[in-house]
Structure 1
């Protein structure tokens, strides 16, 4: 039996599956407690917001949605070109090792090339060895000299009021 894999852009009708993937990813990353978004929030941010919203591609294997990639454009002043930032990549555990993640990343790289982007980048949790090894196998480079900083909640509000 040959397995048929396809990658397509998500539509508004896909919000429930996208949200289920987000929750499954949060479970995998041991961050379920941080998911405060609802299906309505996902629907609005992906399909109800003005231009510039995040985008999603879905992987389907033998008629079943098995993974997704959520991404948006960023910009490099050094390159003078936009890029793509991959916020989330997730494949259901039982479908890993079948080329789904690689095909999602390949399609995302093709989108970056089609849109004349200068880079494709993402973050990975430092404990996530399987993902790190997968990314290294694709010749992705770790940006070890960079540290991510974040403001949320009260710290974000306090800074906004200075």
Structure 2
């Protein structure tokens, strides 16, 4: 079962984000607090949205998707940028990831969005195989750039 996250899901979403960071070998980078997640997902002006996958048998959270709308200047319409998709190891293969992506694709179709996109680590071959089996294709001609921490502060201050 896939459902839209509620404020009561904040602790489990926070735990799932930490689990994802461990899986991606970067636990120190997952610094978001539950309060930050609550504000981002359920504050006065939500910046992101989340769905939770729940195991049909146990009723336990099996994974989540956290996303936000983006905009294509070339197509002139919104799309969805999937920030995180994670399924707990014991729940993998149970259809939760596919159900989460199907739900996001459905939102795109219903709203007239023309893209559903995300990033995946180069070494994550199981995820890459899963995504490609769904019809997703890598954008090989693009390289992701990021500015954070001290470099972001320096750029923002004009240094």
* TM-score class, shorter: over 0.9
User: What is the CA–CA distance in structure 2 between the aligned matches of 1:49 and 1:126, rounded to whole Å?
Assistant: 36
Corresponding residue to 2:38 among 43, 52, 71: 43
Corresponding residue to 2:21 among 26, 37, 40: 26
Partner of 1:121: 117
Secondary structure of residue in 2 paired with 1:85: strand
TM-score (norm 2): 0.95
> How large is the Cα RMSD of the aligned pairs?
0.9
Secondary structure of residue in 2 paired with 1:90: strand
Partner of 1:143: 139
Q: 1:49 offset after TM fit, Å?
A: 4.4
Partner of 1:3: none
Q: Which runs of 4+ in 1 moved over 2 A?
A: none
Map 1:11-160 onto structure 2 (within 5 A): 11-51=6-46, 53-61=47-55, 62=57, 63-160=59-156
Deviates more, 1:31-40 or 1:72-81: 31-40
